[in-house]
């Protein structure tokens, strides 16, 4: 309808000339046919780039450049394609497992981060050995030992598993065919699955037998137990029920036949009227002897004599017949009689432990226990102890067979006879085929024709039965790092048992056996790591002790008084029998008694040393040197170049030498460290663990020790406070200056004031929020050093090597100071009216038989910290939670803080310890890629030139706080615990928030025994100590 009337704009339009038509068409831009244009290769190639194209290209390239710049370089990190459900980066997982290397046994929790096991922690659910000692704490590092066997070896050359299996099974077959025997030699085995498998083999291979032995044999003890109870098993001790313990050469705190007594010992030593009394008779100053209330020095050969004297004294009281007795010195006889009297007063609640592994001592100890009616209370045979089952006579039989050439195949499992039974080396070479199941190419494995590399225990499945009715599960926490194989699997293959995997075999054993197909119970066992067959235990009865009147006959007493000295072999807390000799943490661990690392040595009394002309000298840089000797035994065995360390408390006429050192094929770390004491032992001497008639002659040269504590006494200072039990019970702690635990007071214008009140500083407010405190009970601390290694592992503390330790540059954040008492005291000096110079000179010398105290010292987290004020860059500062922090990034390394620390707990990175191939090439702990896997990702690895120190495991408290926050609850006591407190099974270390009135730490802080170290300096530490109470009745 609309009229299409058209208005033209000019005459040109009206005329509609071609020019107008073109102009009209071009008035609005038509869409460019980009697609067609781009698709047309020909025109693309021929056409020049237009402005629009240019802009497009510009836009594209700008965007591309911008995007490229956003991209961070990714260095060899591969994210999970499918993330495992139970693995959250940054969150640790814990797996229950079990450690058993034939010597130490423990139920443990393994802390794993991003798939890497990084820390061993005690399993609180365990009823037996749920605690970790230094060796077990350190065992995780051995997983990352680069010198482990990586491939099977056949005749010394790398081979694949099938070749090895073929060779071994062929040999077994041919041995069987030719009537030769097939023997599996191992250390103590207590795995039900393993033992069942051996049983299975025995049923199919008639000439198969299993022989087990213990590096430090207790075969004689087992014989004694067998005679006493008819059961070849050691007793299980229940120290918790004892009020008195007597150790006769028994280092039971370090090693009690595989059973850990430390937790009960710690509990028993809590000061009260009921406090456990501990008397020790020994030759070498042991960890146990150092903790005794009363320690008597005896010669090793007097062990049986002391025990028989005790026996007779008690038998007289019990109206029973005595045994043959050898005379003791009057002084010692009196002490023994007194001890016997005390034991009699504690009958039924006492324990007498004998050292060594010989029959006589154990028989006497058991006899005493029987007289004291301790059976069934403090020691029991009810649960068959399977932690030490080695049989020396069977081993001797094997040696005879080997020499006769009747052993076709000898399989070595978790044992190293060439090292710990050097006399066997020759016999071993006579085996048709020697097969080794070993983690390292050790002394024995390197003799073997076939070496089957075994898993590290954290890679392997196994189960354990330490005592009857009590089971422990060993589950792997990481895939095998190398081409290794489980022992269960290897043995299975060789004997043609069906090729079951280790897991399959263990699981079958349980599901087909005790769990009767109940997978839930299996899962629960694996989860908990422990399983107690209560039904079985309830059914067990205490075996009746033998009433045979001839029981005590036929005891053989070693004759003392032979020419020369007596040499006792012992184990050090850090090294045990040398299984973990290639572990840098353990090598660097200072022995609790001698404070010397990276060595073993002949311990000798000062008077004997003087007689022979041996000495220890301090070098100008503080390093300790010692004479060297040649040891010649009565059998003519010789050990040369043995360093000598003068040991207070060593019985005169005796010397001590630790086993576990002198390895030659342990790996780069352990090789050539110390001398091999096993080389001196033969037969009966190995049983009693000492040698008589040893000749010691000085040889040329000086040995260089790596000793971290050169000064042995407290110099009359108020460092470790000590009180007798009597005073503790009857006298007040604070009594106007006369109490046994007074605070330092200063006279001021405003009257007497405590050190923390006399200050010019503004106090931090620690009444709100958290206030992290650590209590150290000097009464419970036995100095074992589990905490030292736990701290090492938790906080990525570097290993620095022997030379650096010699230069007093140990890096341990937590050290355990050990002080010996001295004959010279303030009182004695006054009595003899000695001058100060003479007094202090004599104070430096420890007594011949000193009392020993241990004092763990770490950063005291002073609330008025001398270190904090002096740092020019404020790299060390105080937290609102009572901690003294280190900001490593800020530290420029002036070392002023370390100088000004009265406790000397600060450690400086003198070199680049975590990447120091040049100086510390043997140390894999932090120095190679594999060794670095053990590092705790929550703790910074410190660089060169930076000061470091105990952080009170701040990463743990932070983690606990965050967890509580996420869960929306308050932090509970026990949520956060430091690595040291966690590792301490005597309960000496208690950590917590002192502002939490309900906490254990708050109670400890109010304890009468609480005191601050160097209170008078006014540092107001967050760490405090509890006075040691000595039960010297």
Binding of residue 870 to other proteins (CB under 8 A): yes
Q: Of residues 20, 537, 710, 930, which one binds other proteins by CB under 8 A?
A: 710
Among 375, 678, 903, 924, binds other proteins (CB under 8 A): 903
**Binding other proteins by CB under 8 A: which of 837, 929, 968, 970?**
837
Our CB check for other proteins shows the closer of 682 and 825 to be 825
Which of 900, 963, 987, 1000 touches other proteins (CB under 8 A)?
A: 900
Return the number of the residue (717 or 1006) whose C-beta is nearest other proteins.
717
Give the list of residues 6+ apart from residue 847 with CB closer than 8 angstroms, or none: 648, 820, 821, 822, 823
Q: Report strand pairing: 690-704 vs 772-777.
A: unpaired
**What does 45-112 look like in DSSP terms, one character per residue?**
HHSPP-HHHHHHHHHHHHHHHHHHHHPPP--S----SS--TT--TT--EEEEEEEESSS-EEEEEEEE
Which of 104, 353, 356 minimizes the C-alpha distance to 219?
356
Pattern 611-650, other proteins, x by CB under 8 A: -------xxxxx----------------------------
Among 912, 950, 953, 981, which residue sits at the site for other proteins (rule: CB under 8 A)?
912
What is the nearest approach in angstroms of other proteins to the Cβ of residue 943?
8
Residue 804 beta carbon to other proteins: minimum distance, rounded to whole angstroms: 7
List of residues 6+ apart from 70 with CB closer than 8 A: none
The answer to whether 349 contacts other proteins (rule: CB under 8 A) is no
* Residue 203 binding other proteins, by CB under 8 A: no
- Told to check if 836 binds other proteins by CB under 8 A, we report yes
> If phi over 0 gives left and psi between -120 and 50 gives alpha, with beta otherwise, what is residue 45?
alpha
**Cα–Cα distances in angstroms (integers) from residue 139 to residues 120, 175, 197, 455, 476, in the given order:** 8, 37, 27, 13, 14
CB of 621 to other proteins, least distance (A): 4
H helices within 613-734, ranges in order? 683-688, 725-730
Residues 305, 328 contacting (CB under 8 angstroms): yes
Contact between 909 and other proteins per CB under 8 A = yes
Is residue 878 part of the contact set for other proteins (CB under 8 A)?
no
Distance (Å, whole) CA 431 – CA 450 = 12
Q: Decide if residue 294 touches other proteins (CB under 8 A).
A: no
- DSSP assignment of 333-378: HHHHHHHHHHHHHTTTSEEEEE-SS-HHHHHHHHHHHHHTT-BTTT
Calpha distance 295→272 (Å, rounded): 21
Which residue lies nearer to other proteins by CB, 259 or 909?
A: 909
Nearer to other proteins, 487 or 863 (CB): 863
**218-247 positions binding other proteins, by CB under 8 A:** none
Angle at 917 between CA 915 and CA 918, to 5 degrees: 125
- Sequence-distant (6+) residues with CB within 8 A of 313 are 336, 337, 340, 341
3-state secondary structure of 315: helix
Binding residues for other proteins, total number by CB under 8 A: 65
Window 401 to 420, contacts with other proteins (CB under 8 A): none
Which position among 410, 824, 922, 946 is part of the footprint of other proteins (CB under 8 A)?
946
- Measured from the CB atom, the residue of 275 and 843 that comes closer to other proteins is 843
CA angle 574, 578, 584 (to 5 degrees): 60
In the range 1003-1022, which residues lie near other proteins by CB under 8 A?
1014, 1017, 1019
Does residue 778 bind other proteins (CB under 8 A)?
no
* Distance of alpha carbon 330 from alpha carbon 279, whole angstroms: 18
Question: Of 499, 425, 505, 531, nearest to 125 (Cα)?
Answer: 531
Binding segment toward other proteins, per CB under 8 A, in 301-309, 566-574, 597-605, 862-870: 862-870
- Binding of other proteins at residue 884 (CB under 8 A)? no
- Residue 375 or 903: which CB sits closer to other proteins? 903
Residues in region 787-806 near other proteins by CB under 8 A = 804
Pick one of 945, 964, 1007, 1010: the residue that binds other proteins (CB under 8 A).
945
Binding mask 661-700 for other proteins (x = CB under 8 A): ----------------------------------------
* Nearest-approach distance from CB 712 to other proteins, in angstroms: 8
Indicate the residue among 208 and 908 with the shorter CB distance to other proteins.
908
Q: Applying CB under 8 A, which part among 354-362, 459-467, 784-792, 886-894 lies near other proteins?
A: 886-894
Q: Which of 92, 902, 937, 987 binds other proteins (CB under 8 A)?
A: 902
Q: Is 709 in the site for other proteins (CB under 8 A)?
A: yes
Among 812, 807, 762, 770, which residue's Cα sits nearest to residue 790?
A: 812
Element (H, E) at 645: strand 638-646
User: What would the 3-class secondary structure string for 381-423 be?
Assistant: CCCCECCCCCCHHHHHHHHHHHHHCCEEEEEEECCCHHHHCCC
CB closer to other proteins out of 545 and 1014 = 1014
The smaller minimum CB distance to other proteins, of residues 208 and 819, is found at 819
**Smallest gap from residue 884 Cβ to other proteins (A):** 14
Written as six digits, the tokens of 484 are 């290794």
- Identify which of 788, 840, 790 has the alpha carbon closest to the alpha carbon of residue 818: 788
Paired with 754 in beta bridges are: 745
Residue 944 interacts with other proteins (CB under 8 A)? yes
The contact mask relative to other proteins for 715-754 (x = CB under 8 A, - = no) is xxx-x-----------------------------------
Q: Cβ closer to other proteins: 123 or 951?
A: 951
User: Is 764 an interacting residue with respect to other proteins (CB under 8 A)?
Assistant: no
Closest CB to other proteins among 210 and 818?
818
Candidate segments 98-106, 339-347, 813-821, 989-997, binder of other proteins by CB under 8 A: 813-821
The answer to whether 425 contacts other proteins (rule: CB under 8 A) is: no
User: How large is the angle between the packed helices 303-318 and 330-345, nearest 10 degrees?
Assistant: 50
Considering the complex, state which of residue 325 and residue 803 has its C-beta at the smaller distance from other proteins: 803
Helix (H, G, I), strand (E, B) or coil at 328: coil
Helix (H) or strand (E) holding 153: strand 153-154
| Residue in the block written with tokens 């062929």 | 170
Q: Which is nearer to other proteins, 661 or 820 (CB)?
A: 820
Nearer CB in complex with other proteins: 376/902: 902
User: Where along the sequence are the contacts to other proteins (CB under 8 A)?
Assistant: 618-622, 709-717, 719, 804, 807-810, 815, 817-819, 836-837, 840-841, 855, 857, 866, 869-874, 890-896, 898-900, 902-904, 906-912, 943-947, 1014, 1017, 1019
């Amino acid at each position: 309808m609309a009229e299409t009337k058209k208005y033209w704009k000019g005459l040109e339009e009206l005329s509609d000339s071609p020019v107008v038509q073109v102009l009209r068409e071009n008035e609005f831009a038509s869409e460019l046919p980009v697609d067609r244009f781009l698709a047309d290769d020909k025109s693309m190639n021929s056409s020049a780039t237009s402005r629009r194209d240019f802009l497009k290209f510009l836009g594209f390239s700008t965007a591309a450049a911008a995007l490229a710049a956003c991209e961070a370089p990714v260095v060899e990190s591969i994210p999970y394609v499918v993330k495992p459900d139970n693995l959250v980066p940054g969150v640790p997982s814990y797996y229950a497992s079990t450690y058993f290397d034939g010597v130490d046994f423990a139920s443990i929790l393994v802390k794993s981060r991003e798939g890497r096991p990084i820390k061993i922690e005690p399993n609180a659910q365990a009823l037996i050995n749920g605690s970790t000692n230094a060796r077990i704490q350190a065992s995780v590092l051995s997983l990352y030992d680069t010198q482990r066997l990586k491939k099977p070896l056949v005749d010394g050359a790398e081979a694949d598993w099938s070749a090895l299996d073929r060779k071994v099974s062929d040999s077994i077959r041919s041995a069987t065919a030719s009537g030769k025997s097939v023997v599996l030699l191992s250390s103590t085995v207590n795995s039900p699955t393993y033992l069942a498998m051996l049983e299975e083999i025995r049923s199919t291979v008639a000439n198969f037998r299993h022989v087990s032995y213990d590096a430090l044999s207790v075969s004689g003890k087992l014989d004694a137990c067998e005679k006493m109870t008819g059961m070849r098993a050691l007793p299980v001790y229940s120290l918790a029920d004892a009020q008195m313990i007597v150790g006769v050469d028994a280092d039971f705190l370090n090693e009690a036949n595989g059973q850990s007594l430390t937790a009960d010992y710690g509990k028993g030593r809590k000061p009260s009227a009921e406090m456990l009394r501990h008397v020790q008779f020994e030759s070498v100053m042991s960890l146990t002897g150092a903790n005794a209330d009363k320690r008597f020095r005896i010669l090793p050969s007097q062990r049986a004599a002391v025990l028989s004297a005790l026996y007779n004294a008690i038998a007289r009281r019990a109206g029973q017949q005595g045994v043959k007795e050898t005379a003791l010195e009057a002084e010692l006889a009196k002490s023994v009689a007194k001890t016997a009297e005390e034991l009699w007063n504690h009958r039924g609640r006492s324990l007498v432990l004998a050292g060594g592994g010989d029959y006589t001592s154990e028989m006497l100890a058991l006899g005493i226990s029987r007289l004291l009616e301790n059976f069934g209370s403090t020691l029991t045979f009810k649960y068959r102890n399977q932690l030490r089952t080695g049989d020396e006579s069977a081993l001797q039989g094997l040696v005879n067979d080997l020499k006769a050439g009747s052993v076709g195949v000898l399989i070595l499992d978790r044992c190293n006879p060439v090292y710990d039974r050097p006399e066997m080396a020759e016999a071993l070479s006579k085996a048709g085929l020697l097969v080794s199941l070993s983690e390292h190419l050790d002394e024995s494995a390197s003799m073997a024709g076939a070496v089957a590399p075994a898993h590290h225990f954290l890679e392997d499945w196994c189960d354990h039965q330490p005592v009857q009715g009590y089971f422990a599960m060993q589950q792997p926490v990481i895939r095998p790092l190398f081409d290794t194989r489980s022992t269960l699997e290897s043995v299975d293959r060789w004997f043609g048992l069906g090729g079951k995997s280790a897991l399959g075999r263990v699981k079958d054993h349980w599901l087909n056996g005790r769990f009767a197909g109940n997978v839930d119970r299996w899962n629960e066992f694996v989860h908990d790591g422990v399983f107690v067959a209560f039904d079985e235990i309830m059914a067990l009865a205490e075996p009746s002790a033998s009433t045979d009147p001839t029981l005590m006959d036929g005891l053989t007493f070693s004759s003392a008084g032979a020419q020369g000295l007596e040499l006792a072999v012992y184990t050090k807390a850090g090294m045990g029998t040398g299984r973990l000799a290639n572990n840098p943490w353990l090598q660097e661990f200072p022995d609790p008694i001698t404070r010397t690392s990276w060595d073993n040595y002949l311990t000798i009394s000062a008077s004997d040393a003087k007689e022979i002309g041996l000495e220890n000298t301090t070098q100008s840089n503080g390093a300790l040197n010692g004479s060297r000797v040649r040891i010649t035994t009565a059998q003519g065995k010789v050990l040369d170049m043995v360093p000598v360390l003068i040991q207070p408390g060593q019985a005169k006429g005796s010397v001590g030498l630790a086993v576990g050192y002198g390895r030659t094929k342990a790996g780069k770390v352990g090789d050539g460290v110390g001398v091999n004491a096993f080389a001196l032992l033969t037969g009966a001497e190995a049983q009693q663990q000492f040698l008589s008639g040893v000749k010691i002659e000085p040889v040329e040269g000086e040995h260089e020790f790596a000793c971290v504590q050169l000064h042995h006494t407290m110099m009359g200072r108020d460092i470790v406070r000590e009180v007798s039990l009597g005073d503790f019970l009857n006298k007040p702690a604070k009594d106007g200056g006369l109490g046994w635990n007074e605070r330092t007071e200063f006279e001021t214008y405003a009257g007497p004031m405590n050190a923390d009140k006399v200050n010019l500083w503004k106090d931090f407010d620690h009444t709100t929020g958290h206030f992290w405190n650590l209590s150290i009970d000097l009464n419970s601390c036995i100095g074992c050093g589990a905490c030292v290694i736990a701290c090492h592992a938790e906080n990525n503390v570097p290993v620095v090597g022997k030379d650096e330790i010699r230069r007093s540059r140990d890096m341990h954040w937590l050290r355990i100071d050990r002080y010996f008492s001295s004959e010279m005291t303030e009182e004695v000096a006054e009595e003899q009216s000695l001058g100060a110079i003479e007094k202090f000179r004599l104070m430096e010398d420890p007594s011949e038989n000193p009392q020993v105290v241990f004092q763990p010292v770490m950063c005291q987290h002073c609330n008025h910290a001398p270190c904090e004020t002096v740092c020019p860059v404020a790299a060390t500062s105080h937290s609102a939670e009572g901690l003294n922090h280190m900001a490593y990034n800020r530290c420029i390394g002036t070392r002023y803080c370390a100088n000004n620390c009265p406790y000397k707990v600060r450690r400086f990175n003198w070199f680049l310890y975590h990447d120091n191939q040049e100086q510390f090439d043997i140390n894999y702990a932090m120095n190679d890629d594999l060794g670095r896997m053990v590092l705790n990702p929550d703790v910074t690895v410190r660089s060169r030139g930076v000061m470091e120190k105990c952080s009170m495991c701040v990463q743990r408290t932070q983690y606990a706080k965050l967890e509580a926050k996420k869960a929306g609850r308050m932090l509970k006591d026990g949520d956060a615990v430091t690595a040291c407190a966690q590792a301490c099974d005597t309960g000496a270390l208690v950590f917590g928030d002192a502002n939490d009135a309900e906490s254990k730490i708050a109670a400890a802080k109010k304890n009468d025994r609480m005191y601050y170290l160097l209170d008078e300096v006014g540092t107001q530490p967050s760490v405090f100590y509890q006075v040691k109470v000595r039960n010297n009745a």
